[in-house]
Structure 1
Amino acid sequence: MPDASIFDRVRSSITRFRRDEGGNVAVLFGIAILPILGFVGGAIDYSRVNNARTAMQAALDTAALMISRDATSTMTAAEINQKAQTYFNSLYKHPEAQNVVVNATYTNSASQGSRVVVTGTASMATDFMKVVGYPTIDFGASSTTAWGTTKLRVAMVLDNTGSMSSAGKMSALKTAAKSLIDQMQTAAKTNGDVYISIVPFAKDVNVSSIANTSTKWLRWDLGQCYQSNGWSSSWKGFMTQSDCQNINNSSWTATTKTGWTGCVSDRYDTPTAYDTLSTAPYSTTQTANNASNRNTQFPAENYSDCPTSILPLTYDWTVLKNKVDAMQPEGNTNQAIGMAWGWLSLLQQNPFNAPAEDSNFKYTKAIILLSDGDNTQNRTSTSVSTIDARQRLLCDNAKAAGITIYTIQVNTNNDNNSSVMSYCASGSTNYFSTTTADGINTAFSSIGASLSKLRLAK
């Protein structure tokens, strides 16, 4: 082969090699492999750290809530920290987390309530990011539980009618009510955090614990009205003598102070308004009583089946449970009068004059209404629909005033659910229906948990 030809072929090959850029891919990949591994590995490492951080947050949240149940103003910082560590260690199961440190602080003041802050920090060794100079990643979380900025005032309005004597209902009610009282005592860190009133009701309520025959907010001019029907007579209601005389063939029996056991009936609207719901300024509202308007006063009645007396708001837990034990079943059912007096017991006006409220705190007012049957009698009627209509209006007014209402229907006879009980509840989760006496305790326990949560600020 001529030398010129060989030379030309060599020169052509060199030219092609010089112009060939295919090898740059390998060179560039070799240069980029390190940061690529760093980014991919970093995503994996951060995913592991994020899982550990999420688990830490959940453990700290639970530990903070548990400490808030235990903490007292007499506990030292070391004792609070020890509890935090113990609770956290039982909940956090991530051995790959290193150098875990948990701290807890507890503060308490009259104006700001109580607060527990639990913080946690840790680090985790990396598998990939150490290649680019990050052998560990630090992470942390914190949880705050506050309580005591909201105070509770709860009225327990409890059916004491004759039907509660069957199927073990009264016994179950007493057990459940006392358990709720214990729950509320636990929720109260200091005296006054939680107040409870107890309002036993039948057709009437008993105010002998706060009144006597000379009490100014009572009225004594109402009596029993009957209409003669030939050989028999029918009850027309508890009303004034003049209203009774407007009924043909009527007779009227006055209420006497002698032998009065403390019972009062529904407040007085005119009989027409009371039956038609055209107006109801007194029996379904909490208009303050006024000596110049007798209809704002509370009618005393000689009622033979008077329930045990109302206990006004108190945080004397023993007295509360003793009152529950004193309840006895007798008489007819008027849920509305129980509701009315439960609402009254929460207000700073006659007849109860509830304890003054501190402007530094929020106040949640709640009524728990338990009954085992339909309404059967109020001041003027034995019609279920008529009495229910009064109660609906009363519940509307109470809810509009900011009262939270829980209702419990005990239906051991498998009757239809009471529409007025579910209507009165502040929401579907505030209404409880049970067909067994045992269900009373379940309902009260759920309500107790709900009320306790209202004490948590964040």
Structure 2
Amino acid sequence: MTAETFVRFLSRAARRFTRDSSGNIAVTFAIALLPILAFVGAAVDYSRANAAKSSMQAALDSAALMLSRDLSQGTITAADIGTKASAYFKALYTSADAKNVAVTVNYTASTSTTASNIQLNASGQIVTQFMQLAGFPTMDFSTKATTTWGDVKMRVALALDNTGSMASSGKMTALQNAVAGSGGLIDQLSALAKSPGDVQISLVPFAKVVNVGASNYTQNWIDWTDWQNPPTVQPNNGSYQAAIPNAKFTQAQWDMVGPGSSCPFTSGNGFSYFGCTSGPVSGSSGVSSIPSSGSYSGYICPGYDSASHSYYNGCWTSTKTSTVVNYCTGSGCSCTGANSTCACTGSYSSTKCTVNTYTKTWVANATSSWTGCVADRTQPNDATAVSPVLSDVTTLFPANQHMENNTQYCSSSASTKLAQIVPLSYSWSSLKSAVNAMQPTGGTNQAIGLAWAVQSLIPNGVLGAPTEDANTTYNRVIILLSDGLNTEDRWPEYGNGSSQASGNPIDARQALLCSNLKNTKDAKGNAMYTIYTIQVNTSSPADPTSTVLQNCASSPDKFYMLTSSSQIVTTFNTIGTALSKLRVAK
């Protein structure tokens, strides 16, 4: 409502009051008119001034951000700041109400202990429409914006789903274009670096496991417990744990197993998850009986475990003893399935077959035969970012000989290989090559991808992240993308590769890890990590929204639900733009 319209409204109201014959209405209204007019007018003029100030603040913020970007990238010098600030602000601030607008700039160059700083101050005024009746012809307002930058470095960890479902709907190709394509995230972030190392990126492809590289078999942060143990003492397999002997397979029966014996690991004997192989080498062929000749004579090798999707990395050797026992007696007794020492006497009901017995010794494969996979850490450190401590095996990373869908995904000879982790790097071409080499593999375990993304950011950690300077500000960012819900991890009872057990125990582990990371603070009390999460939901029917991904993001605006592959590119572009702002201003 303009002043002229408002005055006409009051004039009509006043005429109605003058015709009113009841008491002192006209007199009362005349007395109240001026303060009413003043209050209403003040509200209208204040609203106009506030709108002009809000748009001024937005323009000033953007101008300050662009100035700090230009200075950090060297496209302008300190001498250009005043002119450039005025040009940016005038282009951005278009309020028709604001008059006598002025902008000042204060620039402080960085020192050995402080970062560069720009402060923009702006002021203006509006010509009042109502307050001038009370003697206030104008209303002034002002605001300011500050950016600090310079000694700020960015570390970005990409935890990217490489599971089999990424092969559908063009998701893997879209992801590769979004990250490594022309104008993709790597190009966006690399452009922010004024000096080599200002911006670094790590790559963590994940499925059920991650591939840290077989060359690391000499590292002391590897946990070889699972690797060295036979099925009887594999840790944490819960209801899927084999037991030798067990209710269906007695100690006496186990003692009889030797060269030539039928494979004792059958579903009928309670072993439905693994059988026997021809030797200790990962990938040896399956056999129905224990070898009785050759290099592996008497080797009892459990081989592949379909419950844990991994190999047992060793065999029992069998050494013959002097003890002979009855294998069977009576009608129907024969040496079928017995070891090579079996001999029978008598006939019909007096038949008796005897065998030698064997002591068993478990011999683990050489660690140099490891293909590079690691599984989740032993609880509770599966949900923490603590660095390895040799005296605490729960902080080490378990070597795993992963196999799923008849493929050893970490093997260099695999037809579809789980890509190896790339530590923090600013070799942009190498990073792009690694992203473009990613291939869809097995089942989903988002937690292990997140856990290793954090490890890649820890200075002087297992992945060799560079030392952080105490005088430098670091923006540590994790981007976690997955196209499915969690289905498996190190513990077979938690999930079978297709779905989780009741209560979503894999999600519960990940939720705890997310909570721990979000609550981690730096020396200044700020959040140590900024976490973006992306769910690519192209399934039909659609998967439910992943609560664990949604809650893992640092804030609600950092969780993205995508329903098509094409959105992957635009989402990474959005994140890249946000990180660009984070790089030059805080």
Fold shared per TM-score above 0.5: yes
Name the CA distance, whole Å, in 1 between partners of 2:555 and 2:47: 42
Q: Find the partner of 2:268 among 221, 224, 230.
A: 230
Answer with 435-444 or 190-199: which moved more. 190-199
Match in the other structure for 1:67: 67
Match in the other structure for 1:25: none
Deviation of 1:256 (Å): 4.5
Match in the other structure for 2:561: 433
Match in the other structure for 1:114: 116
- Asked if residue 316 in structure 1 is aligned to residue 318 in structure 2, the reply is no
Match in the other structure for 1:419: 547
Deviation of 1:295 (Å): 4.0
Q: Find the partner of 2:222 among 218, 222, 238.
A: 218
Name the CA distance, whole Å, in 2 between partners of 1:124 and 1:411: 51
Name the CA distance, whole Å, in 1 between partners of 2:513 and 2:364: 28
In structure 1, the residue corresponding to 2:571 is in which secondary structure?
helix
Name the CA distance, whole Å, in 2 between partners of 1:126 and 1:325: 62
Deviation of 1:347 (Å): 1.5
Name the CA distance, whole Å, in 2 between partners of 1:44 and 1:202: 60
Deviation of 1:173 (Å): 1.0
Deviation of 1:204 (Å): 1.4
Contact 2:213–2:420 under 8 Å retained in 1: yes
Q: Alignment length, in residue pairs?
A: 405
Name the CA distance, whole Å, in 2 between partners of 1:340 and 1:447: 21
Name the CA distance, whole Å, in 2 between partners of 1:330 and 1:171: 14
Name the CA distance, whole Å, in 2 between partners of 1:397 and 1:57: 36
In structure 2, the residue corresponding to 1:115 is in which secondary structure?
strand
The 5 A counterparts of 1:215-364 are 215-223=219-227, 225=231, 228-230=266-268, 233-234=272-273, 235=305, 236-237=307-308, 254=364, 256-267=366-377, 269=378, 280-303=379-402, 304-306=408-410, 307-364=418-475
Contact 1:71–1:106 under 8 Å retained in 2: no
The runs of at least 4 aligned residues of structure 1 exceeding 6 Å deviation read: 41-54, 94-100, 121-130, 134-140, 239-242
Contact 1:150–1:454 under 8 Å retained in 2: no
Match in the other structure for 2:490: 379
- What are structure 2's unaligned runs of at least 5 residues? 1-40, 232-241, 243-264, 274-304, 317-360, 403-407, 411-417, 522-528
Q: Considering fraction of residues, name the structure with more helix.
A: 1
Answer with 42-51 or 302-311: which moved more. 42-51
Which amino acid in 1 is paired with 2:370? W
Q: Percent identity?
A: 47
Contact 2:65–2:581 under 8 Å retained in 1: no
RMSD: 4.3
Q: Find the partner of 1:405 among 531, 551, 560.
A: 531
Name the CA distance, whole Å, in 2 between partners of 1:217 and 1:163: 31
Contact 1:288–1:349 under 8 Å retained in 2: no
- Asked if residue 444 in structure 1 is aligned to residue 563 in structure 2, the reply is no
Deviation of 1:423 (Å): 3.5
Which amino acid in 2 is paired with 1:324? V
Closer/same/farther in 2, CA of residues 394 and 76 from structure 1, 3 Å limit? closer
Which amino acid in 1 is paired with 2:268? G
Deviation of 1:160 (Å): 0.8
Which amino acid in 1 is paired with 2:219? T
Name the CA distance, whole Å, in 2 between partners of 1:44 and 1:163: 58
- Asked if residue 195 in structure 1 is aligned to residue 321 in structure 2, the reply is no
Name the CA distance, whole Å, in 1 between partners of 2:42 and 2:482: 63
Closer/same/farther in 2, CA of residues 228 and 392 from structure 1, 3 Å limit? farther
Answer with 284-293 or 337-346: which moved more. 284-293
What is the TM-score when the length of structure 2 is the normalising length? Answer: 0.58
What is the TM-score when the length of structure 1 is the normalising length? Answer: 0.72
Match in the other structure for 1:388: 507
Name the CA distance, whole Å, in 1 between partners of 2:208 and 2:191: 34
